[in-house]
Amino acid sequence: MTDAAQTRERILEAAYACIARWGLAKTSVEDVGRESGLSRSTLYRYFPKGRDELIGAAIGWEYDRFFARLYDEVKDARTLEEVIERGLTFAHRAITEHEVLQRVLQTEPGVLLPAITVKSDATVGLVSAFLTPYLERHPLAPGVNVEEAADFLARMVLSYMSAPGRWDLEDPEQVARLVRAELLGGIVPRAGR
């Protein structure tokens, strides 16, 4: 990692620590400077648009780290069902156990949600691209388009990760039923048909 990349990472780690301590709205460039041990001018060199750019970058950084951990959890899955089941279980647990995210969602959702929304289209594309090879290897119901199915599954999985509705994503049997009956119900042929 270059010195510039290390400095940027140091700033983002400090920003995240400040957000964890004080929340999004109360975190300032000065706070991040103190936490990182870097001058205000250094922070502005990396984030010339100031506080909003810095906070957005810190949210994006943590968002990217979350999806990297999710990828590590599912990358060796062999089947479409397994990748979705493992991904849903891991992601839901990670979201509900993420103290900073839960605190910010409760106290400052209006600040966080727009930043996440900006990344959501790119995230749908990445998840869709990840699922596509699994769909290509899996028998599909007649008339199912792989690209459309991958987009649908990506959007549904991302939705269920944070809002599972009636499903208990800690229960492997319920996760399996959700994946097979609801998510894959119209995409893959049902057994015994």
Confidence at residue 118, expressed as pLDDT on a 0 to 100 scale: 61
How far is residue 173's CA from residue 88's CA, in Å, rounded to a whole number? Answer: 13
Confidence at residue 192, expressed as pLDDT on a 0 to 100 scale: 41
What's at 185, amino acid-wise? G
Confidence at residue 159, expressed as pLDDT on a 0 to 100 scale: 85
CB 108 within 8 A of CB 23: yes
How far is residue 47's CA from residue 29's CA, in Å, rounded to a whole number? Answer: 10
Q: Look up residue 50 and give its two tokens.
A: 């100031």
Tell me the H-state helices in the chain: 3-22, 29-36, 40-46, 51-74, 80-97, 99-107, 109-137, 146-162, 172-177
Which CATH code is given to the segment(s) 1-58?
Answer: 1.10.10.60
How far is residue 168's CA from residue 1's CA, in Å, rounded to a whole number? Answer: 41
Taking CA atoms, 165 is separated from 30, 117, 159, 175, 193, in Å, by: 41, 20, 10, 12, 29
Q: Low-confidence residues of the chain, pLDDT below 50?
A: 192-193
Confidence at residue 114, expressed as pLDDT on a 0 to 100 scale: 62
Confidence at residue 116, expressed as pLDDT on a 0 to 100 scale: 63
Confidence at residue 51, expressed as pLDDT on a 0 to 100 scale: 95
Domain locations along the chain: 1-58, 76-188
Confidence at residue 36, expressed as pLDDT on a 0 to 100 scale: 97
